[in-house]
Copies of this chain bind each other. A is one copy, B any other.
Amino acid sequence: MPLSMYQASVPTFVQILTALSGVLDKAQAFSAAKKCDPAVLLAARLAPNMFALTQQVQIACDFAKGATARLAGADVPSWPDHEKTFAELQQRIKKTTDFVQTFKPAQIDGSEERDVKLSVGGQPVTFKGQPYLIQFVLPNFYFHATTAYAILRHNGVELGKRDFVGAVPGMW
């Protein structure tokens, strides 16, 4: 079956966010084992003017949510960024993976030329669906998911790249 807009989006979001959930589980266990306040890791960042772990997870979720809805021509639900604990971040991830999986391939396939309107840095931008997904969403999504992992790795959480990549059928 030919590659489709659905196959290049929703399964990726689910794979990487599910893996990120596992990464956060390990981070929470690390906090407990080291007897450190989980809030320390949640507020950790790689540079003073870079987003902390909590925001990295929120933004990764938002790229998945926004891309899936926009490609399907649906409204993007607005979710407040109120997470303060690992458990709440896990709920955010779960809500996101549940949301993107409510869309069927037929709603997203064929969206290559669909107009996608969004605001980037306060400026209105109109994309076609394919460059929106391939050139904008995926780089941003992976950027924030990887940075979340990198923050935790830098803080000593025992993680390997397979924790980031997640389940790849036929491999691991």
Q: A77 to nearest B CB, angstroms?
A: 24
Interface size class of A (residues with CB under 8 A): 35 or more
Tell me, yes or no, whether A91 is within 8 Å of chain B by CB: no
Residues of B within 8 A of A1 (CB): 112
Contact among B15, B133, B161 for A135, CB-based, below 8 A: B15
Contact in complex: A139, B142 (CB < 8 Å): yes
Contact indicator B2/A139 (Cβ below 8 Å): no
| Contact bitstring A114-141, B, C-beta under 8 A = 1, else 0 | 0000001000011100110111101110
**From residue A47, how far is it (CB to closest CB) to chain B in Å?**
5
Copies per assembly: 2
A46–B46 CA distance with the chains assembled, in angstroms: 9
Q: Tell me the nearest residue of chain B to A146, going by C-beta.
A: B146
- Report Cα–Cα, A82/B112, bound state, in Å: 41
Residues of B within 8 A of A3 (CB): 3-5, 8, 112, 130, 133-134
Known contacts A3-B130, A47-B154; A164/B138 CB under 8 A: no
Report chain B residues within 8 Å CB of A149: 143
**Chain A interfacial positions (CB closer than 8 Å to B):** 1-5, 7-8, 11-12, 15-16, 46-47, 50, 110, 112, 120, 125-127, 130-131, 133-136, 138-140, 142-143, 146-147, 149-150, 153-154, 156, 161, 164-166, 168-171
Closest 9 CB pairs of A and B: A142-B142, A146-B146, A46-B154, A150-B150, A139-B165, A47-B153, A135-B168, A143-B146, A136-B168
18 of the cross-chain contacts (CB-CB < 8 Å) are A2-B2, A3-B3, A3-B8, A12-B135, A12-B138, A12-B139, A16-B139, A47-B156, A126-B170, A131-B168, A136-B165, A136-B171, A138-B142, A139-B142, A142-B146, A143-B146, A143-B161, A154-B154
